[in-house]
Chains A and B, each alone.
Chain A
Amino acid sequence: MIFTIFKKELKDTLRDRRTLIMMLVIPLLLFPIILNVFVAISSSFQEEAATKTVKIGLVGPNDNYVKEQLENLPESLGKKEIIMYKDTTAMKEDLKKDTLQFALFIPNDFKKFKDELKPAPVTVYYNATDMGMQERAESYLETIEDIAQQERYLDLDLKEEELKPLNVEYSNVASTKEMIGKLAGGILPYIFIAFGFIGCMYPAIDLFTGEKERGTIETLLTTPVARWQILFGKMGVVVLSGLLAASCALLGLFLSIEVFKIVDDPKLLEVIHEILSFKFIILLYALLFPLTVFFAGLMIPIAVYAKSFKEAQSIITPLNILVVMPAMVGFFPGIELNAITASIPVVNVVLATKELIAGTLDYGLLALSFSVMLLLAIIAVIVSFKRFDKETNVVIS
């Protein structure tokens, strides 16, 4: 009987355009669209930055050292045009108007400082709203400073290595897989949780409140099927919808990587392939299944209690924020899976998935996270059943 109800509810749900869009279409298309747009915009910015001629204002003597070095910088560091100004007032105006990208003030006695082997002052004017221009000025000036330093070593007949007491080398012991897991691994569970919740939401409201609102539940309750069987059949569809939505989001992400070639670094691609192993997917779903049952169990009592689709939606939507917020924990580096975090629902799934991606998962903590989620899922099912069994909640009188 549970399967008969499940089959019918699934058919009914898959014929609901609104649920279908929220459950399959949006999760599937969101990532390819967002990532493609992001890549297209960022590459167009990079292209623009490479081809754009940066206008640099300069106040100072006509034959100053900085100007000379600036002119000699290779075009690979970006095209540039130097515009001389007599004073800083007009220069600042042009910076504000965005006619200039940044400007340099070189004092008239710049050469004296240089000759006396003192640090020569250079003031950089920039408009912080013009993104990336401070960095461009820094990169030009660092190059010029390097050249000036080499010249000074030569003048003083010094060897660079004699002035360098330490030769520090940094060696990263973390694998790329671990770094992806710890730094970017929070995104994956977040996607799953957010879409899993949204995926459960519409079917839960439609199959419980909707059925009450449309007056079909009364007929269903007069059939010789136990209420728990009706609940389980319907709940099965809600859980499946949540898992489908989350899987579609993952599939969308996978398509973005494999079909639309968002990641072009072969080394990174290899690591991503290594992460997405069969074992990883099985363990991920082992965590997600009780989580989705828990979501369904949270929503069903509300959907059973609510008298209209609107009422159910207005209660469940804020709940979304409450549930998805803890999932953001995954974005903060430093929060690790331990006995305490493994006992906090949602947070445990996020952190365990992160560890799973990084390949550093402690199976004891995974078992604890799974047990906590399973326990909550069971409680949620019991609460749902109690609510569904309450006669005043299933029939609008």
Chain B
Amino acid sequence: MIKVSHLSKEFELSKKQRKELDTTDTKAVAVSDVSFECKPGRVFSLLGPNGAGKTTTLRMLSTIFKPTTGSIEIAGIDALSNPQEARKKIGFLTGSTGLYARLTPNELIKYFADLYGVPKNVCEERKQKLYDLLDMNEFQGKRIGKLSTGMKQKVSIVRTMIHDPEVIVFDEPTSGLDVITAENIIQLIRDCRTQGKTVIFSSHIMSEVDLLCDDIAIIHKGGLLFNGTMDTFRSGMQAKNLTAEFIRIVNQSKTTQT
């Protein structure tokens, strides 16, 4: 379970940034008063155009960024007062996640298992299960730098799942990946839902959202424009399809703001 309440994030602007943005403001608001809930066994999608605040929100959930105001609860743990405990419950995967090219998948998985405090025998058991599932046994001892993008993504999946997290955060997990590699991620998200895990993922690929989502939130310029179930979203649609409805909602917010 993820509970986000009145979450805001402001970044201080450097002189250089102020000049670039042609503003006199000393702060930029990335996320403003965002509240939502992600339930176990359901997939929550955070949808928004580039620069809407999706990544900042997910970084706050995964405790990389500290919110300016608001609260975050991860699997019953207050992520602000106890970030280390909250992190134990989270698995974090992005499409652009880099891996240590000079390590082998085995070494990398062991490293992360150690960081999460996973006992050796449990780690071995989980690793083997995931290797079999993702057909990774052949390249487990090769240096990651020599693996293909698809193989690397499989390593990232094992790395995300090795501590069996209750909550999984996917930040544009399929961006830049080919269809076959992206399918691995889609399958992983489905499996997580089946296993009763809480899944939140950000995307701007409507077909993925359509395929996977149970709940949806649309974020634009740091604020939520919609927050509800996918069924509610579909039933209230004024445009022909999801993409058109998404564009309509975003454009409508621009008109309202002006």
Find the residue from A5, A11, A219, A221 having the highest chain B CB count within 10 A.
Answer: A219
For A15, the chain B residues whose CB sits under 8 A away are 102-103
Scoring A residues 360 to 397 as 1 if CB is less than 8 Å from chain B, else 0, what string do you get? Answer: 00000000000000000000000000000001101101
Given A4-B111, A391-B66, A222 contacting B87 (CB threshold 8 A): yes
Given A11-B107, A224-B84, A224-B117, A214 contacting B101 (CB threshold 8 A): yes
Are A218 and B115 in touch, CB under 8 angstroms?
no
Number of interface residues of B (CB under 8 A): 31
Residues from 26 to 57 in B contacting A, C-beta threshold 8 Å = 55
Residue of A1, A215, A224, A391 near B96 (CB, 8 A) is A215
For B107, the chain A residues whose CB sits under 8 A away are 8, 11
Scoring A residues 13 to 37 as 1 if CB is less than 8 Å from chain B, else 0, what string do you get? Answer: 0011000000000000000000000
Find the residue from A11, A12, A222, A395 having the highest chain B CB count within 10 A.
Answer: A222
Find the residue from A1, A12, A223, A225 having the highest chain B CB count within 10 A.
Answer: A223
For B98, the chain A residues whose CB sits under 8 A away are 214-216, 219
For B62, the chain A residues whose CB sits under 8 A away are 222
Residue of A4, A214, A220, A395 near B114 (CB, 8 A) is A4
Residue of A4, A216, A222, A397 near B63 (CB, 8 A) is A222
Residue of B59, B63, B117 near A395 (CB, 8 A) is B59
For A12, the chain B residues whose CB sits under 8 A away are 100, 102-103
Are B84 and A226 in touch, CB under 8 angstroms?
yes
Are A218 and B116 in touch, CB under 8 angstroms?
no
For B159, the chain A residues whose CB sits under 8 A away are 219
For B170, the chain A residues whose CB sits under 8 A away are none
Number of interface residues of A (CB under 8 A): 25
Residues from 69 to 107 in B contacting A, C-beta threshold 8 Å = 84-85, 87-88, 90, 92, 94, 96-103, 107
For A391, the chain B residues whose CB sits under 8 A away are 64-66
Residue of A1, A219, A395 near B97 (CB, 8 A) is A219
Scoring A residues 222 to 247 as 1 if CB is less than 8 Å from chain B, else 0, what string do you get? Answer: 11111000000000000000000000
Q: In chain A, what residue has the closest Cβ to B143? A: A15
Are A218 and B111 in touch, CB under 8 angstroms?
no
Are A219 and B92 in touch, CB under 8 angstroms?
yes
B139 adjacent to chain A (CB < 8 Å): no
Q: In chain A, what residue has the closest Cβ to B89? A: A224
How close is A1's CB to chain B, nearest CB, in angstroms? Answer: 7
Residues from 272 to 329 in A contacting B, C-beta threshold 8 Å = none
Q: In chain A, what residue has the closest Cβ to B94? A: A218
How close is A311's CB to chain B, nearest CB, in angstroms? Answer: 14
Q: For the complex, give the distance between the alpha carbons of A20 and B159 in Å.
A: 28
Q: In chain B, what residue has the closest Cβ to A15? A: B102
Q: For the complex, give the distance between the alpha carbons of A12 and B108 in Å.
A: 11
Given A11-B107, A12-B103, A222-B64, A392 contacting B97 (CB threshold 8 A): no
Are B84 and A8 in touch, CB under 8 angstroms?
no
Q: For the complex, give the distance between the alpha carbons of A291 and B100 in Å.
A: 30
Are A8 and B59 in touch, CB under 8 angstroms?
no
Q: For the complex, give the distance between the alpha carbons of A392 and B100 in Å.
A: 22
Are A225 and B115 in touch, CB under 8 angstroms?
yes
Are B94 and A4 in touch, CB under 8 angstroms?
no
How close is A347's CB to chain B, nearest CB, in angstroms? Answer: 35
Q: For the complex, give the distance between the alpha carbons of A397 and B11 in Å.
A: 11
Are A223 and B96 in touch, CB under 8 angstroms?
no
Q: In chain B, what residue has the closest Cβ to A226? A: B84
Given A223-B87, A224-B84, A216 contacting B115 (CB threshold 8 A): no
Q: What are 8 A-B contacts defined by CB distance under 8 Å?
A: A11-B107, A16-B102, A216-B98, A218-B97, A219-B159, A222-B63, A222-B90, A392-B11
Query: What 6 A-B pairs are tightest by C-beta distance, nearest first?
Result: A215-B98, A214-B98, A15-B102, A222-B92, A224-B87, A223-B115
